[in-house]
Amino acid sequence: MAANNEEGKQENKTTKSKNMDTVEFIINVKYGDKVLKIGETLEVSPIQANILAKQGIAKKL
């Protein structure tokens, strides 16, 4: 049973990474505990990428 649970976790992790969008920051911004400068890229969820793009903070790549 524990082995099946571990396999499920591994599959979930790989599925999550496939659904990430890359964004490039247009302005300097504090994102969590990081300060991201203009031109830096970050992988975020598609929903977060849309929010950042609509706010004019980043553009989707």
Express each pLDDT in 4-53 by its tens digit: 555 555 555 555 567 899 999 999 988 789 898 999 999 999 999 999 99
DSSP designation for 40: -
Phi, psi (rounded to 5 degrees) for 13? -65, -45
Taken in order of first residue, the domains within the chain and their CATH numbers are 20-61 (3.40.5)
Contacts 24+ apart (CB under 8 A), 47-53: 48/21, 49/21, 49/22, 49/23, 52/23, 53/23
State both tokens at 18: 């496939």
pLDDT number for residue 59: 95
CA distance 61 to 52: 12
